[in-house]
Amino acid sequence: MSRLAWMLLLLVLPLGANAGYHIETIVLPPELRGGISGVAFTPKGTLVLATRYGEIWMRDSDAAPWRKFAGGLDEPLGLVAESEDVVYVAHRPELLKLSDTNGDRRADTFDVLGYDWGQSNNYHEFFYGLRRDADGNFYGAISLDSSGTKEPAGRTRGVRNLTPAVEASYHNSEMPYRGWAVKITPAGRTIHFASGLRQANGVGLSPEGDLFMTDNQGDYKPSGGLMHVEFNDFHGHAESLKWEPGFVSGSLTPEKLWRRYKAPAVVFPHGPLGVSAGEPVWDLSAGRFGPFTGQTFVSDFTNLVLRVELQKVGGAYQGVAFPFLGRSEDPEFVSGDRLKQGGIRLAFAPDGSLYIGQTSGWGAGTMGLQKVTWDGGVPAEVLSLQLTERGFALKFTQPMDPSTVPAFAGQGVRVFRYYYHVQYGSPPIDETVLPISDVQLSADGLSAHLTVPGLKAGFVYEFDFERLRTLRGGILANPVAYYTANRLLTGEVAIGGTTRLPRPNEDALGAKAALNELAPAALVAEGKKVYALFCAACHQPDGRGMKGGAANFVDDKSRLAKSDEQLLKSIAQGVETKGMPAFGSTLPKGQQKAVLAYLRAAFGEPATAARQE
């Protein structure tokens, strides 16, 4: 959108009169038990849901009743809704075509279109999906196993291979082609075309027809991110390679893996940008969902929706990720219900609203379906952040106050990268702050050019906009951004993307282990970040909580007088009577300890005997 068009839009819109986005929780009938694992719309606009209970439900309009189209499937995790009569579903064993051939509005015929991967009784053997391209090919992701399977070999589909591809890892590819991206042709041929996936619980096609998948932090996966998946890619997890034609056991080394590793186009730093990314979708609403037309939205299992802007540099995708919804429970730009945890699926409705399918059952989360609509208000956001030859070019949705630019620029840009290793995730490493030597804010305050000397490929660039203000004096709705610079415009390309191998004799810990090794001061600092991201929305930045709700740590000293064990239990399991969610699966134990350390340091009394028990 041109600058002129933007200014006209800003003049026309009732700026400030509306919040920006409205979240509505869709009330589902009791028999539709939630566990929403697929959301799609037919060309006529019928909403179609898949659930982890194995059912497919439809609703022809907002006012129409829900009806069950099919049931009995094995944990579907994606769908393509061709019509009210034909739905394609990715469930554990197969890609299935479901058809209503007798007009009774229920599927009666189920045709297997793709099945060429191994399967055992491992609970983590999912088939994530689903997308179909213009030629009718379907795309999905075969997950790894989470741990050793137990059933006798005769009870599997395919022959099990228990030998690690390189070294023992947390997630394994015991059954054929687990960890591969698959393309299933209209003729029913399954092509295993890219490897290195771990739990790619999000599959999306860009408007240009490029395939993207999300994956989560874990072994060989330093952090989550959005991957551009092409033929013959290797996306990092070694286990899948045992099924590659020509694979020779013992032939791979960590360095060989790293040199082949195609890192995420856009990294989602673990914590600030979620813990478990889901489905990516593109805003093609032509402005009906606000100012972000053409950008990508990604669900996360924590109460978070991300916004991504892709940029092609040297022919390859990379880009920037922002929080969009969920980082504050009651921000000025959001009205309606709170965003719920457990979001794994997204779909844009024909009217430009965004639907979020949520599930519990992977440790946390909530069952449900939420709808996000744009009410015409334009939140203050960084609209665009792109790499330039000398730094970064930014666009804003509202004019920025030039007097606040120096304070922002004075912070510089924090850069970091990760280890590529078999450990579970990686802490940020090689952190430095690059100076912002110059900021050229446009006369209208809607764009800026940053000059950042010392740009280097292979790093994540963290931008902190807390000190920037709009002309109206407001702060940005989401004042943080992470740009992934696998490449520079000068042609510099980083092998292994934003990772490096641990150096000889370097004690390279995984992300969780690194948290446990933090010194007390660093633990408190880490806890402060966690508190800001996950706790402050209810307990408030000053710790005074919410009347009748979240605990007030400042005025009610009994709150933190409990033992560490009791408080950690509350953090992990939640407090149902107070509406406090369980963070046991959202936050690693190290982060739970870190936030407790911060609570004690910021709001607590000196240690008591009771606490040490």
* Residue number, 96 or 334, with CB nearest to another protein: 96
Q: Least distance to another protein from the beta carbon of 66, Å?
A: 14
Contact (Cβ atoms closer than 8 angstroms) between residue 303 and residue 366: no
Q: Least distance to another protein from the beta carbon of 171, Å?
A: 13
Dihedral sign from CA coordinates of 473, 294, 481, 204: positive
Q: Exposure of 29 by Cβ count < 10 A (0-12 exposed, 13-18 middle, 19+ buried)?
A: exposed
Partners of residue 219 on adjacent β-strands: 424
Q: Least distance to another protein from the beta carbon of 121, Å?
A: 5
CA pair distance 115, 208, nearest whole angstrom: 27
* Residue number, 107 or 263, with CB nearest to another protein: 107
* Residue number, 361 or 412, with CB nearest to another protein: 361
Q: Least distance to another protein from the beta carbon of 165, Å?
A: 23
Q: Least distance to another protein from the beta carbon of 329, Å?
A: 24
Q: Least distance to another protein from the beta carbon of 149, Å?
A: 8
What is the full DSSP assignment across 160-178? ---S-SSS--SSB--STTT
Q: Exposure of 163 by Cβ count < 10 A (0-12 exposed, 13-18 middle, 19+ buried)?
A: exposed
CB atoms within 10 A of CB 312: 14
* Residue number, 125 or 309, with CB nearest to another protein: 125
- For the chain, give percent helix, strand, coil, nearest 5: 15, 30, 50
Contact (Cβ atoms closer than 8 angstroms) between residue 465 and residue 480: yes
* Residue number, 96 or 439, with CB nearest to another protein: 96
Q: Least distance to another protein from the beta carbon of 128, Å?
A: 15
Q: Least distance to another protein from the beta carbon of 360, Å?
A: 6
Whose CA is closest to 314, among 382, 389, 233? 389
CA pair distance 510, 113, nearest whole angstrom: 40
Whose CA is closest to 335, among 17, 18, 15? 18
Contact (Cβ atoms closer than 8 angstroms) between residue 293 and residue 286: yes
CB atoms within 10 A of CB 549: 12
* Residue number, 76 or 427, with CB nearest to another protein: 76
* Residue number, 73 or 308, with CB nearest to another protein: 73
* Residue number, 122 or 299, with CB nearest to another protein: 122
Question: What H or E segment, with its residue span, contains residue 602?
Answer: helix 589-603
Q: Least distance to another protein from the beta carbon of 191, Å?
A: 18
From residue 478, how far is each of 197, 241, 326, 328, 464 by CA, in Å?
30, 39, 10, 9, 10
* Residue number, 91 or 242, with CB nearest to another protein: 91
Contact (Cβ atoms closer than 8 angstroms) between residue 430 and residue 443: no
Q: In degrees, to the nearest 5, what angle opens at C-alpha 282 toward C-alphas 201 and 382?
A: 105
* Residue number, 195 or 359, with CB nearest to another protein: 359
Q: Least distance to another protein from the beta carbon of 537, Å?
A: 26
* Residue number, 119 or 161, with CB nearest to another protein: 119
CA pair distance 370, 337, nearest whole angstrom: 9
Tracing tokens 């399954």 back to the chain, one arrives at 190
* Residue number, 370 or 397, with CB nearest to another protein: 370
* Residue number, 77 or 339, with CB nearest to another protein: 77
Q: Which residues bind another protein (CB under 8 A)?
A: 31, 33, 35, 52-55, 70-75, 91-94, 96-97, 106-112, 115, 119-125, 146, 149-150, 155-157, 359-362, 367
CA pair distance 470, 445, nearest whole angstrom: 9
Q: Does 130 sit behind a cis peptide bond, omega within 30 degrees of 0 on the bond before it?
A: yes
Partners of residue 308 on adjacent β-strands: 296, 321
CB atoms within 10 A of CB 577: 6
Q: Least distance to another protein from the beta carbon of 543, Å?
A: 33
